[in-house]
Amino acid sequence: QVQLVESGGGLVQAGGSLRLSCVASGIIFNLNAIGWYRQAPGKQRELVARISSGGFTNYMDSVKGRFTISRDNAKNTVYLQMNSLKPDDTGVYYCNVVTSRNIYWGQGTQVTVSS
């Protein structure tokens, strides 16, 4: 049974910071790339950041220099450090893992950035 559990969302003022966590179980964690996606109401879900099994990272252009994705394989956890948050960052953030067996999503954690 594969499970991804996100946490760390909340309400923050513009310019503030949040750190999201995603804990994975039921997979060989260190063999998989993991991504963070977000979805605002009425909008398409979009890839925010991704980290490979080897630690290589990429980001959507609008978060470069503000967000950092990292992983702790010993804890089966991936993090998204979000700094200098903007109202446009508001949405539900999901972690995602693609394996040979399936595509898995967490339940999501709400991030709301006020003006």
Tokens of 18: 């949040």
Q: What angle do CA 81, 98, 28 make, to 5 degrees?
A: 85
| pLDDT for the residue numbered 1 | 85
Q: What 3-state DSSP class applies to 115?
A: coil
**pLDDT at site 100:** 83
What is the chain's pLDDT, residue by residue, as a tens digit (115 residues)? 899 999 999 999 999 999 999 999 988 778 889 999 999 989 999 999 999 989 999 999 999 999 999 999 999 999 999 999 999 999 999 999 988 889 999 999 999 999 9
